[in-house]
Amino acid sequence: MVFGWGKKKQEEKPVETAPQTKEISLNEVKNIVAELEKLRESQTVSEVKHLRNSTAPLIDELIKVGKMLEKDTLNVDDIDKHLAIIVVRGKKQVIDVIKKGVVSLPEVSNIENAKKLDTSLNQILKKVGDVLGRQTRVIHIFAKKYATQLKDNLEVMNQNHSEIHDILQNYDNTKSSSSEILDTLKKIDTLKSKKIEKTQKIADTNNELESVKEHLSSLEKSIDEIKSSDEYKKYVESKKSLESFETQKSKIKDEINSQFTKISRPLGRYEYASSLDKEQKSILATLSENPFDVLTPQNKDSIIVILENVRKGITSGSISVKDVDKTLSQITETEETLDGFISKVSEYFQKHQQMSAVLNSLRSEKLISLESELTKTSENRDDLQLKSETFQGEVDEIDSSIPQLVSKIEKKLRLFSNTKYTLLMS
């Protein structure tokens, strides 16, 4: 401080003693926190009240010094006129601040009073300290007999104020720790409620899962019974026969493609230059890509018309080919094999239809229904297993979080209690 106070006396460190230990349940924490907070409030008020009562006489002495200084001429008549003006002005400033700024301290009966005292004392010290700082030379040189008294007085006042401020700060820290502990307790209660809820969901899900597994086992048993029957064996044999027969389709397609590939170039050129109707254009396009699909008795006349139009185009020169005679011969060859191809395709589809009808007649609607239900039930089982695992993961996370929160409460309790509390999980 400018005027010369502010150094606090060295405080002897108290001898540290081993803290008392005590085991309590979580349910007891709230009451203990309330008791500790009430005790700390009472101690705070008592300590601040004591410091207030120790400081009040110093306020009176400060006012008394101000009155004495006001009556004191400081022998200004014996000094230089200009210097005398400065001394008188400085003296007046100090006296005005003491008169207006130094007021009686409020009584302390609760925390609110204590905080008002802290503010009031801070304002007094600041105002007096500022004016004495500005007029330090005037006081130390021309009012020397008051300087020591003011210095000693304000030094004690400042020390008392620092102690009051620290005590209130410790109380605020206690309140903050208390609020944090209570908030943490609420979090623990919330987590415990969630755990109960999740645990119940796990139990319900696992019960449902067991029921689904039993149903799956029953479905599999019913399916096995059907598949062990003579009717199902006939169905399997019929299905194998159909699958084997279906391989003939590729052979027929290869044979047809091999023939139509010979005239694919003129067919393609005719497709771009032709003026066929919509149906014939569709047949022509398919003949170029996949002739097997249009070789039916219904399309035979249209195919012949297309082939003859291609022949005319080649003959007239509107469709150019490298070897006219060879291409015309290949068109003739295609027309001659057309009936055979159509017959093979028709016979294939006719027999395929017959075999499919036999297969369908042997198909078990009950088996289809059971297999469909088995698929849905298996998906339901997987969903339930995932749901149960998810709930269990959430419970495990809660079990991990609660001890951490309990440890946090234990540490907070140590901040404002001489007892080392160990919380028992209940």
- Pick the closest to residue 296 from 313, 282, 310 (CA basis): 282
Whole-Å CA distances, 340 to 56, 251, 283, 331, 343: 128, 14, 18, 15, 5
Give per-residue pLDDT as tens, 368-400: 999 999 999 999 999 999 999 999 999 999 999
Q: Residue 289: its pLDDT value, please?
A: 86
36 Cβ contact list (under 8 Å, min separation 6): 174, 178, 413, 416, 417
Does residue 344 surpass a pLDDT of 90?
A: yes
Asked if pLDDT for residue 7 goes beyond 50, the answer is no
Q: What is the pLDDT of residues 208-259, one digit of tens each?
A: 999 999 999 999 999 999 999 999 899 999 999 999 999 999 999 999 999 9
Q: Which CATH architecture has domain 28-177?
A: Up-down Bundle (1.20)
Annotated domain spans of the chain: 28-177, 224-382
**Residue closest to 303 by CA, chosen among 290, 294, 316:** 294
How far is Cα 138 from Cα 146, in angstroms, rounded to an integer? 11
Residues 6+ apart with CB under 8 A from 297: 342, 346
Length, in residues, of the chain: 426
- pLDDT score at 1: 40
Q: Is the pTM of this model over 0.75?
A: no
Digit-coded pLDDT (tens) for 49-100: 999 999 999 988 888 888 887 777 666 666 767 777 777 777 778 778 888 8
More reliable by pLDDT, 192 or 137 = 192
pLDDT value of position 267:
85
Question: Per-residue pLDDT tens for 97-134?
Answer: 888 888 888 999 999 999 999 999 999 889 888 877 77
